Each structure stands twice: as structure tokens, then as C-alpha cells.
Amino acid sequence: MYKKFSIKTLSIIFSVLLVLVIITEIVDKMQSKNTLRDVLFTVDKTQINALKIYPRMLKGKEVILEKQNDNWLVKYEGKSFNADTNQIKTLINTFSELKPLRYAGKDEKQQEKYELSDSLCNKVLLLDKKGKQLAALRIGRFSFLQNKQMRKQNPFMQQPQGTMISYVRLEDEKDIFAVEGFLSLSINQEPDNFRNRKLLSVNKEKINKIEFNYPADSSFVLQETGKEWQINGSPADSATVANYLFKISNCTGSNFSKQAIKNATHTLKISTSDNQIYEIDAELQDSTNVLLMSSQNKGTVFKEKADENFKKLFKSKQTFLKK
């Protein structure tokens, strides 16, 4: 009788525990479902006029990406520089709508684990033209999840290999979410990495005249006349000219300089068939170093080795003459 009673009692206890486990799982799933959102926030990207960024690597120092008229500027420590517009547009597209993949928690240990505490995170504020805050986001660590692991967390994902995810939370909330992408790498950068590195960007098919202004009597003009190129009226080698135009059509600078160009030693003036003019000034500092500045990126000076862009852009007259 005792054994029967014990077995019966154990069966009841087991059944009760099983029911509790099932109820707990259902409640957890319901809570997770209720916590997970379709989007973290939605911002009209046309209203975003500035991003205030606080990269972790700068230990809380502020970098501002701000639109003025049709140009974007990078502002840091009281200085202002031309920004890489395409890079900023990519950031805006990313932050205008973030879709969570899964809920990751909210307690302090998880804030530390996912690098979302005050000392570990990167911060981004989105502002409109009046300086009103549209959204504020903390960005923590990122990781790579294999496809199999991602499908467990989100069975609707169809990526063939895997997914980069970042952990984020809204500034005024504690809930942590995993979102697609490596956001911290986009934000946790030196201010110079947001700057415009353009030196020359031109459609080579439209170039019809280039003036090479050099010291002494070495200046010359390379011009398209009819279907051929000429140097000061003499025939130029068409293959050499075509190769040169291809190489200079898209040039980017390497190292930014705090120095200004005081006396340009070399100047390149490029004219196009649609009446555009592009100028590049160069100042040779010595036999190996040069300062470069372009009319397409006013106010930005690059300091480079002379065998980089300078050697590519500033050719001698003999280079283009027919052999």
C-alpha cells in the first residue's frame, strides 16, 4: 500500500512539474514574442540632418556629421572638414529602420556581455534640421552566426552561409536586441575615416583639354582636336592619352595634412565637353613629398609621397608625344 501510494504521489508530482515546465515555456515564448518588435524605431531618413557619434575608441568624444546645403561635413574638436557623402548616406539608410532579429535580454550582466554599458558602447544620435533628437541608439559588440544557429533563432532567415549581427539598445531603454550588420565597425572610427578623400572624379569620355602648368618653360596643353589629341598643336600618341585619362578619372588621396598649400609648384586644369573645369594644385616639399589639393574637395589637403598621385597626374610633355 505504501509503495502504491508513493508511486501515485510521485506520478502526481511529476505531472504537476511537467505542467509547470510547459506553462513556463509558453509564458517565456509569449514574453519573447511580446518583447521582440518589428522595428526598433522608424525615422524618415529625409528628416535626418545630423548624426552625433560617440565612438568607443574616442572615449566619449563627440564627432558630428552634419548636412549644410547639399554637402556633409565632419566636425571634431572645433574643426570642420568635407565628409564622404556616400558613407553617410549608407549610415542613414542603416539607422533609419533597424529590424531586430531576436531579443537578447536586459539585465546588467547582459549589458556588460554585449558591450552596451556606458564605458563599452558606441552611441549614435539622429537629429533633424532644428536639432531635435529623432532617435538615440547604443551599439555594442558584433558577432558572426552560422546559418544553422541563425535559423534556430529566426526560422524565416534564408542566408546561405551566415549573418553578421550587432547588439543594440535604445538609449532610454534596457532591452537588448540583435540586429543584422556590423554597426560598431561603421561607428567606432577615427574622425578622418568619415572625411572625403576625393582628389579627382571625372568622366574620361568628356575630357577635351588639360593644361599642365609647371615651373620654368615646361608647361604645355594637351587638347582634343576633332578625333585626335594634340600637344601644343603637335600630334599626341592616342593610346598613351587614353591610358592616362583612364588612370586619372578616379583618384583618391591617402593622408590628410594640416598644412596648407602656400605656393603651388604644379597645377593641372582639366576642361570637359560639358563646360566643367577641375583643378588640382600641388606643392613639392622636397624630392619625395608633395601636398595636393583639388577644386572638387575644397579645403582638404593631402600629404603624400610624390610617386603616388602626383606621379600619376603630372606627366611630362615627352610622355604623350608620338614615338
Which range (18-22, 70-74, 161-165, 303-307) has the least confidence?
A: 18-22
Give the Cα separation of 165 and 156 in Å (integer).
16
- More reliable by pLDDT, 121 or 2: 121
Chain mean pLDDT for the chain: 87
DSSP 255: S
DSSP 193: G
Is residue 129 domain-shared with residue 231, that is, in the same domain? no
Quick: pLDDT tens for 150-174.
Answer: 455 555 555 446 788 999 999 999 9
**What pLDDT sits at residue 56?**
94
Point out the domain boundary residue: 189, 207, 230. Answer: 189
| Percent above pLDDT 70 for the chain | 84
Residue 165, domain extent: 45-189
Quick: pLDDT tens for 183-194.
Answer: 999 999 999 999
**Is residue 321's pLDDT more than 50?**
yes
Is residue 238 domain-shared with residue 174, that is, in the same domain? no
Is residue 178 domain-shared with residue 82, that is, in the same domain? yes
Distances (CA, A) of 16 to 6, 9, 90: 15, 11, 54
Q: Mean pLDDT across the stretch 209-229?
A: 93
Which range (5-14, 165-174, 193-202) has the least confidence?
A: 5-14
Coil, helix or strand for 2? Answer: helix
Is residue 93 domain-shared with residue 115, that is, in the same domain? yes
**What pLDDT sits at residue 255?**
93
Is residue 180 domain-shared with residue 212, that is, in the same domain? no
Point out the domain boundary residue: 189, 207, 231. Answer: 189
**Is residue 147's pLDDT more than 70?**
no
Domain count, the chain: 2
Which range (7-11, 95-99, 101-105, 240-244) has the least confidence?
A: 7-11
**What pLDDT sits at residue 152?**
55
Distances (CA, A) of 24 to 20, 21, 106, 153, 227: 6, 5, 19, 19, 81
- More reliable by pLDDT, 96 or 167: 167
Against a cut of 0.85, is the pTM above it? no
**What pLDDT sits at residue 63?**
97
Which of the four pLDDT bands, split at 50, 70 and 90, describes residue 283? very high
Decide: 41 and 95 in contact? Cβ < 8 Å.
no
| Percent above pLDDT 90 for the chain | 67
* Conformational region of residue 78, where left means phi above 0, alpha means psi within -120 to 50, and beta covers everything else: left
- More reliable by pLDDT, 4 or 267: 267
